[in-house]
Amino acid sequence: MHDNMSNTAPVLGARRISVLGAGAWGTAVAIALAQRHEVVLWGRNTLVMQEMAAARDNVAYLPGHPFPPNLSISFDFDAAVAHAADGLLIAACPVAGLRPLLQQLQGHEIPNIVWLCKGFEYETGLLPHQIVQEVLGDKVAGGALSGPSFAQEVARGLPCALTIASGSDALRDNVVATVHGGNIRVYSSADLAGVEVGGAVKNVLAIATGIADGLGLGLNARAALITRGLAEITRLGGALGGQVETFMGLTGMGDLILTCTGDLSRNRRVGLGLAQGKSLDTVVGELGHVAEGVPCAKAVRELAAKLGVDMPITNAVAGVLFDGDQPQAMVARLLARDPRGESVNPAAK
């Protein structure tokens, strides 16, 4: 069922888009795209979606951003997927929800799909595109839409730049033709692994900078963490087939800077809370949103160990999150490491 609010005249060139997942980011993307397209926002909780349809506002996840007329709210999965049959399907759930969401899509006609989640799957250590491949196979063209983009700012219509990464030229062209415009710029990349690794690991590094800032360690320490964090992204991303150029772009350095320095970041706020001595459960509970850096820290620590990739900041964050290390101990552990060359390759002098 959709609440059909679209009584306005169709916009020239408008396309049909369905956003599956009605958290902060799915809602912001739906609001932004509904300025130019016919958008359906689907969420899995019927009662919540009914309330959202009545309020024309996502009170739980993105309050204070009224829905434009071309945004319809739905709790009917099949109808939402059918709406986008000739347009664009966008999966807007956290990484943990991607596999179950894709499983729901099995058996549906889906020409293409774009996902917005940033992280590695906790249980398997897989990147989102690998999960899509496992569940949907090769027949569906897919891509990751990523980059520095706080939901609240996008919902307000403030400018942002994103990257669509896909191995399919047609998918990239489709997404640029659909999403690029207004205050959203969309760049293209064929480096899916590089884009996804940047988006995943920057969340762990935002927890690290949140801890450092919360402990009052200063702007020098913050800059050091961001820069050496970029070295970690580059090392892991390179080992997984990503290109160095990608890590210097929007989905690497760009998103890393945003998330490490912007107080709208949920991951940064996790770090700030831990530095105040709060438990992880308390901090995550207070957030009321997903903080992808938490499960990602564990997945990346394991993956990096398996691949022999040196990731000291990630390991230190995982120590605080999962091994009971004190935030101060995290800093001490990083400072006590042997001196080395600045190169991304730790063996280089």
Ligand X SMILES: NC(=O)C1=CN([C@@H]2O[C@H](COP(=O)(O)OP(=O)(O)OC[C@H]3O[C@@H](n4cnc5c(N)ncnc54)[C@H](O)[C@@H]3O)[C@@H](O)[C@H]2O)C=CC1
- Does 196 participate in binding ligand 13P (rule CB under 6 A)? no
Q: Tokens 């016919």: give the residue.
A: 38
Find out whether 26 is annotated in a ligand binding site.
Answer: yes
Answer for the pair 104, 80: CB distance below 8 angstroms, yes or no.
no
Q: Tokens 């970041």: give the residue.
A: 265
What residue 265 binds from ligand X, ligand 13P, none (CB within 5 to 8 A, per partner kind)? Answer: ligand 13P
Nearest Cα residue to 317 out of 263, 259, 274: 274
Find out whether 42 is annotated in a ligand binding site.
Answer: no
CA dihedral of 257, 292, 267, 291, whole degrees rounded to 10: 150
Pick 150 or 247: Cβ nearer ligand X: 150
Three-state secondary structure call for residue 132: helix
**Taking the complex as a whole, how short is the minimal distance between the CB of residue 1 and ligand X, in angstroms?**
17
Applying the rule CB under 6 A, the residues between 230 and 269 that interact with ligand 13P are 255, 258-259, 265-267
**Taking the complex as a whole, how short is the minimal distance between the CB of residue 59 and ligand X, in angstroms?**
12
Q: Tokens 């506002």: give the residue.
A: 57
Applying the rule CB under 6 A, the residues between 198 and 237 that interact with ligand 13P are 203, 206
Q: For residues 289 and 329, what is the distance between their CA atoms, to the nearest angstrom? A: 27
Site mask for ligand 13P (CB under 6 A), range 105-134, x = bound: -------------x----------------
**Taking the complex as a whole, how short is the minimal distance between the CB of residue 54 and ligand 13P, in angstroms?**
27
Pick 151 or 217: Cβ nearer ligand X: 151
- Count of positions (residues) in the chain: 349
Nearest Cα residue to 189 out of 245, 126, 259: 245
Site mask for ligand 13P (CB under 6 A), range 68-97, x = bound: ------------------------------
Task: Please list the alpha-helical segments (H only) found in the chain.
Answer: 24-33, 46-55, 77-83, 95-105, 128-136, 151-155, 169-179, 192-214, 219-239, 244-247, 255-261, 266-275, 280-287, 293-307, 312-322, 327-335
Pick 155 or 311: Cβ nearer ligand X: 155
- Tell me the residue number closest to ligand X, measured at CB: 23
- Does 25 participate in binding ligand X (rule CB under 6 A)? yes
Sign of the alpha-carbon dihedral angle for 169, 174, 175, 177: positive
Strands laid side by side in the 38-42 sheet: 2-3, 71-74, 38-42, 16-20, 88-91, 112-115, 141-146, 160-165, 184-189
* Residue of 139, 202, 306, 349 with catalytic role: 202
Select from 224-232, 234-242, 286-294, 325-333 the region that touches ligand X (CB under 6 A): 286-294
Q: Give the list of residues 6+ apart from residue 279 with CB closer than 8 angstroms, or none.
A: none
- Does 21 participate in binding ligand X (rule CB under 6 A)? yes
**Taking the complex as a whole, how short is the minimal distance between the CB of residue 8 and ligand 13P, in angstroms?**
30
**Taking the complex as a whole, how short is the minimal distance between the CB of residue 273 and ligand 13P, in angstroms?**
13
**Taking the complex as a whole, how short is the minimal distance between the CB of residue 254 and ligand 13P, in angstroms?**
8
Applying the rule CB under 6 A, the residues between 147 and 166 that interact with ligand 13P are 148-150
Nearest Cα residue to 256 out of 208, 289, 305: 208
Q: Which residues bind ligand X (CB under 6 A)?
A: 21-26, 43-44, 61, 92-95, 97, 100-101, 116-119, 149-151, 289-290, 292
Q: Which residues bind ligand 13P (CB under 6 A)?
A: 118, 148-150, 203, 206, 255, 258-259, 265-267, 292
**Residues tagged active-site:** 202
